[in-house]
């Protein structure tokens, strides 16, 4: 009986932690270096796990990691709002290792503020 309990506990532990590796969260982004840029969307994807946008700021193109699409929909950000050529202001943090990638905390489209974090 004890071996069955142990097996069940180990099984539940492994199942509950199996996908932890895939969730990157905010740890990979340097929250000590706040970025605030206004640029033009060159390309965008509106799909899970996170929507993304390639945004040109001056002479540099950033990959901006946005929120999951369900959160964006809840907050009023639609795929149509992220079309190529749209001006967007992004406040976020750079990735610690991936050059030219940032995670958005707040975006502004047509002057309206949208929070990306919970």
Tens of pLDDT, residue by residue over 62-71, are: 999 999 999 9
As a whole number of angstroms, the distance between CA 104 and CA 81 comes to 16
pLDDT of residue 3: 73
What CATH number did the domain enclosing 92 receive? 2.40.50.140
Mean pLDDT of the chain, nearest integer: 87
| Whether 88 contacts 53, CB under 8 Å | yes
Instruction: Count up the domains in the chain and report the number.
Output: 1
Query: Which residue range(s) make up the domain with 59?
Result: 2-115
At residue 28, does pLDDT exceed 60?
Answer: yes
* Residue of higher predicted confidence among 21 and 51: 51
- Using DSSP, state whether 35 is helix, strand or coil: strand
> pLDDT digits over 55-114, tens only?
999 889 999 999 999 999 999 999 999 999 999 999 999 999 999 999 999 999 999 999
As a whole number of angstroms, the distance between CA 101 and CA 76 comes to 24
């Amino acid at each position: 009986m004890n071996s069955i309990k142990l097996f069940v506990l180990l099984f539940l532990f492994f199942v509950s932690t199996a996908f932890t590796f895939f969730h990157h969260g905010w740890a990979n982004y340097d929250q000590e270096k706040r970025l605030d840029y206004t640029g033009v969307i060159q390309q965008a994807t509106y799909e899970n796990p996170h929507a993304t946008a390639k945004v040109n700021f001056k002479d540099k193109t950033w990959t901006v990691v946005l929120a999951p699409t369900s959160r964006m929909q809840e907050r009023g950000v639609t795929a149509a709002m992220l079309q190529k050529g749209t001006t967007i202001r992004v406040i976020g943090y750079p990735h610690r290792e991936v050059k030219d990638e940032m995670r958005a905390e707040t975006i502004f489209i047509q002057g309206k503020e949208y929070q990306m974090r919970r």
